[in-house]
Structure 1
Amino acid sequence: MVRTDAGAVRGAVTRAPAPDGAERTVAVFHGVPYMAPPTGPLRFASPRPHPPWRGIRPADTMRPAFAQPSGPALATAPVRSASTAEDAVHANVWTPDVHGRRPVFVYVHGGGWQFGTASSPTFDGARLAARGDLVIVTFNYRLGPLGFGLHEALTDPVTGLHANWGLQDQAALVEWVRSSIAAFGGDPDNITLCGTSAGGAAVWQLALLPGLRGAIRRIVPISTAHVRTPAFALTPADARTASEAVAARLGVDVPGLRTVDAARLLAVWGEYFAAVPDGHPVASGRCYRGPVVDGALVPAPDTHRPVPDLPTLSVVTATEGSFHTAGGRPHPVDDAELRALVRAHLLIEGPEVPRGLVDGVIAHYRALAAADGRPVDPLSLLTEIQGDNTFRHRIVRMAERGARETRAPQFLLYFDYAVHPPGFGTPHEATSPFLFGTHGIAEHREAFGDGPWERKVSATLMDLVSAFAHDDVPRAAGVPPWPRFTPDTPSTLLLGGHEPRVGDLPKAAELSFWDTARHGGAL
């Protein structure tokens, strides 16, 4: 039992493997409130402190996911809970001991800002807490139109903010950790922030918030979905238009969106954006709806902002795009179908695809793959093109900026564990099961396996990240000395497909196409 500012909570005890092979006791607390439920008049409001409670609140059962759309999840979404609720904003804490002062590792789940939950078995923090001697925190935050949007009619009378409520929740969680984690045996002055995909974007944005300056010691952004328009985020004007259109369909004004049923609001919002990108009623938010540039919390898209001047361990997977091309999605079987699917993908960047761009990118990737002896079939080319444009190009370029523009140590990890069929390559989100040591649970065993190699890869990744969370230096048994990342020198750690080694970033030449396309105004 521990006592937070709002009241006492009683958790449970589990056991997980320690580095010496023995099992270690870990205390786990599920569903600990870090803010008041954002329901009723607090929907679209800034986070408020949770009202205090009397007695001891049970915290021994995993809680629901935050309300999110029904139906197929986005490709970046982790496993989703079948149970959702609008008041499901809470934290989960795993600690080796409620006494002491251990580094704190806060993980922000991804899911395209619309899906996902800290309650996923993927993010069970017991193994990472035990192996790394860390206090692990995961949490839910507001998603979809309940978490990310903008409209002045929803201005909070206390904070004056009128956008990005999910990002506000994430900031509130960091503040809660700073004020409450000592009760769980954590060091409030040693907080590492980690996240994957949309969670990786959150890590960057939180690290740049003036109000959190000094609260975050270091960051681990993984497969980061850097916020940009028109692909991921609505422009302010389009966010206003979308809110007004959805309100009109629901028969209310914009403030009246606080009163309608959450499931109905999500359904109508989904219908508004249901068309393919070139049929969207607004020009932005063509892929996922993420944080909106609001002039306060998000003053500009990620690539137009400074990089966080914090120790940073960035992670990119070998084939980020295979999450999008595996499974039941359309597969190109010839060049005509490849061109059609590449064009459809490029439409997330804007309403038109410049002439010659599709053939140009295909030719670029085909020539480099052939020169390296890699597959040049249409599916492999589409996978590389989608993954690089959506994720890898910006991840690598932002890591290079961090190495050039900050004094803080920067590290780049290239994760290349090959998943089992019917998946292929090393897809977006392939890191999470290894980071948390959950690759062997029932829902992941087919894709990731649970043999000696998988356990070694997982232990190495956990040890690297844990060491970094302790003292800014990622190290692990069997890993050669890992220098700070320096562009154009062999300083990237390659992990997953072979014994760990430091070398050049693989497939770096492919990224030059996107430099030319973006600087030339084609994208």
Structure 2
Amino acid sequence: MRPATMGRRLFLTGSAAAAAAVAMRPRTAYGADAPAAPQARTTAGWVRGSQGDGFAVFKGVPYAAPPTGALRFSSPRPPAGWDGVRDATAFGAPSLQSVLPGSSEDSLYANVWTPSTDGRRPVLVYIHGGGWKLGAASMPVYDGSKLAARGDLVVVTFNYRLGVFGFGLHEDLTDWRTGYAANWGLQDQAALLRWVSRNAAAFGGDPDNITLCGTSAGGSSTWQLALHPETRPLIRRIVPISAAHVWAPAVGLTPADARSALELTAGKLGTTVAGLRAVPATTLRDTFDGLFAGAPATRQLASGREYRGPVVDGYWMSGEDWQSADPGLPVLSVNTATEGSFFTGPGSPSPLPTPTTDEELRTVVGTYLLKGTDQVPAGLADSLITAYRAAAVAEGRPTDPLSVLTEIYGDGLLRYQIVRLAERRAAQCPSRQYRMEFAHPVRAPWFGSPHESTSPFLFGTNGIPSNAPEFGNGPLEQQVSDTFGDLVASFAHGSAPTSPNAPALPVFAPDTASTLVLGGPAVARLAVTPKAAQLRAWDTAGWVPRPV
């Protein structure tokens, strides 16, 4: 659940306004022979970006007021307006976290790439991942220039509040204006969508044609925002990639534990929950994160064992993802072929010992299962190992301990719910749903097609210096990247996902060749759901919830 360039610790106005922006555009300070810097008029004021090859980009555009001081733990407020033309050539700071330098609570900024500020193009809003704790839209992996220029899209990335500042629940933090007391990062994402709806036309975008896309924690957010009555009307379709669907205790806090976490943090700091607004930001971050250090069995709180995403609060999240209704919007759902190799390969964000024998494998699988339960049922580790080995033998895949652990890890935490939610939709509400598995292999010492290996190929940043050693930058990688971008861009334009390099993709139907497998020498092919036999081992395991 990390953007590739951060290392493995990471891993979530109308046409009238456009006409006004063109008619009222102020003069620039450039000479007569120099190209004018692109400008756009947002609802808060004019911004001046920079011109690239076939695109314009605006960075660090405020979409909400800084959530600092008294506004910490408050619902996002509109940004303050400004006079003149604001420079928009530098990214805003990452949201406060423990990894990226220069992070700050003052981080609610958007970035926009557009082929032109004239026109009315589809808008692709992308939500970064990072386990609801890390990451930033400013990371080089998320450069939107290729997607915008090749796909004829307006591409928007942005930051949102993370960690204790973004995801939690406590009534003592109720916002006096809105009445909300939880999920401030999810509220930021909703505010960004409203900002895009009001300002897309100024950047050459169509406010009535917004596609929401995200990876990992960001993929989960696309799902939750598509379900919410405030934001669903703003979204035309969604592209959840490797969505980390929320379920407690593994991928979220229960409401009771969310309250307790803030109360315990306040107690350690000698203040009240409301008093946390006045605590120095890094002290608050470190104290809260300290509650989740060490093995889950040693902690005071039983949930939030792997990640701490949105909390069920009755409004911004009415239930865990597996309990909730389908969003009902057109969807292109994506997972990687080996989600788990992100966690079992070099630089894992939550490393486990590498098993080399069956006895070690049994022990490590048992430790992994403690991420989702207080006590592992007798025989569960053995039954999963047996089922995964049998499936691997039948399909001619490796059966060594590391390979088996990798498949179990990725399926239980991620792929099982992704596929089962797609199957539920196909059975209950057949509509425009497409499925894709990203299967392009990474380079040694990494292996498989790990979780979050999708972002460099979607954005076409696989070849930048920080990414190329893992993802490659040869002709095949370029073709895979072009194909991925084509599929998402065509979907955003309103068609079925298409590319000159891929077969026609039918609407997803289980047990038919309706999953597009992207990657490898063939580039793209259709298949029945890969490794379906593995997933059946979880149906009766009672560990990861099955969508209902």
TM-score using structure 2 length: 0.90
Give the counterpart letter for 2:378 in structure 1.
R
Query: 1:521: Cα distance to partner?
Result: 8.8
Corresponding residue number in structure 1 for 2:211? 192
Query: 1:404: Cα distance to partner?
Result: 2.1
Give the counterpart letter for 2:141 in structure 1.
T
Query: 1:106: Cα distance to partner?
Result: 0.3
Structure 2 residues not aligned, in runs of 5+: 1-38
Determine what percentage of the aligned residue pairs are the same residue: 56
1:340 maps to which of 330, 349, 363: 363
The yes-or-no answer on 1:7 pairing with 2:45 is yes
Output one character per residue of 1:295-341: Cα deviation in whole Å (capped at 9) or x when no partner: 11101000000011011000010000000001154211111221121
The yes-or-no answer on 1:487 pairing with 2:510 is yes
1:85–1:519 CA distance, 2 compared to 1 (3 A): closer
Contact 1:308-1:402 at 8 Å conserved across structures = no
Find the aligned partners of 1:393 and 1:482 in 2 and give their Cα distance. 22
Corresponding residue number in structure 2 for 1:165? 184
The yes-or-no answer on 1:179 pairing with 2:198 is yes
1:397–1:521 CA distance, 2 compared to 1 (3 A): closer
The yes-or-no answer on 1:279 pairing with 2:305 is no
Query: 1:41: Cα distance to partner?
Result: 0.6
Give the counterpart letter for 1:321 in structure 2.
G
SS of the aligned residue for 2:230 comes to helix
SS of the aligned residue for 2:308 comes to coil
Contact 2:369-2:376 at 8 Å conserved across structures = yes
Contact 2:322-2:545 at 8 Å conserved across structures = no
Contact 1:418-1:425 at 8 Å conserved across structures = yes
1:400 maps to which of 413, 420, 423: 423
Find the aligned partners of 2:141 and 2:232 in 1 and give their Cα distance. 30
Output one character per residue of 1:209-268: Cα deviation in whole Å (capped at 9) or x when no partner: 101232100000000000111111111111111100001111110011100111111111
The yes-or-no answer on 1:67 pairing with 2:91 is no
Corresponding residue number in structure 2 for 1:55? 84
Give the counterpart letter for 1:429 in structure 2.
E
SS of the aligned residue for 1:395 comes to helix
Contact 1:311-1:472 at 8 Å conserved across structures = no
Moved more, 334-343 or 431-440: 334-343
Corresponding residue number in structure 1 for 2:461? 438
State the 4+ residue runs in structure 1 displaced beyond 3 angstroms: 519-523
Contact 1:280-1:286 at 8 Å conserved across structures = no
Contact 2:412-2:544 at 8 Å conserved across structures = no
Corresponding residue number in structure 1 for 2:442? 419
Corresponding residue number in structure 2 for 1:75? none
Find the aligned partners of 1:148 and 1:443 in 2 and give their Cα distance. 30
Corresponding residue number in structure 2 for 1:381? 404
Find the aligned partners of 2:155 and 2:273 in 1 and give their Cα distance. 38
Corresponding residue number in structure 1 for 2:376? 353
Corresponding residue number in structure 2 for 1:472? 495
Query: 1:519: Cα distance to partner?
Result: 8.5
Give the counterpart letter for 1:35 in structure 2.
A
Contact 1:467-1:473 at 8 Å conserved across structures = yes
**Superposition map of 1:55-134 within 5 A:** 55-70=84-99, 81-134=100-153
Contact 2:48-2:87 at 8 Å conserved across structures = yes
Find the aligned partners of 1:514 and 1:346 in 2 and give their Cα distance. 12
Corresponding residue number in structure 2 for 1:245? 264
Moved more, 134-143 or 267-276: 267-276
Output one character per residue of 1:52-109: Cα deviation in whole Å (capped at 9) or x when no partner: 1111111101222110124xxxxxxxxxx32211101110000000010000000000
Corresponding residue number in structure 2 for 1:512? 536
Find the aligned partners of 1:122 and 1:518 in 2 and give their Cα distance. 37
TM-score using structure 1 length: 0.95
Find the aligned partners of 2:543 and 2:40 in 1 and give their Cα distance. 54
SS of the aligned residue for 2:263 comes to helix
RMSD: 1.4
Find the aligned partners of 1:454 and 1:521 in 2 and give their Cα distance. 36
**Superposition map of 1:280-319 within 5 A:** 280-319=299-338
Find the aligned partners of 1:408 and 1:359 in 2 and give their Cα distance. 39
User: What number of residue pairs does the alignment pair up?
Assistant: 504
Query: 1:408: Cα distance to partner?
Result: 2.9
Find the aligned partners of 1:107 and 1:520 in 2 and give their Cα distance. 27
Give the counterpart letter for 2:83 in structure 1.
R
Give the counterpart letter for 2:169 in structure 1.
L
Corresponding residue number in structure 2 for 1:33? 62
Corresponding residue number in structure 2 for 1:428? 451
Query: 1:520: Cα distance to partner?
Result: 11
Moved more, 406-415 or 310-319: 406-415
Find the aligned partners of 1:167 and 1:339 in 2 and give their Cα distance. 38
1:521–1:107 CA distance, 2 compared to 1 (3 A): closer
Give the counterpart letter for 1:52 in structure 2.
G
2:479 maps to which of 452, 456, 460: 456
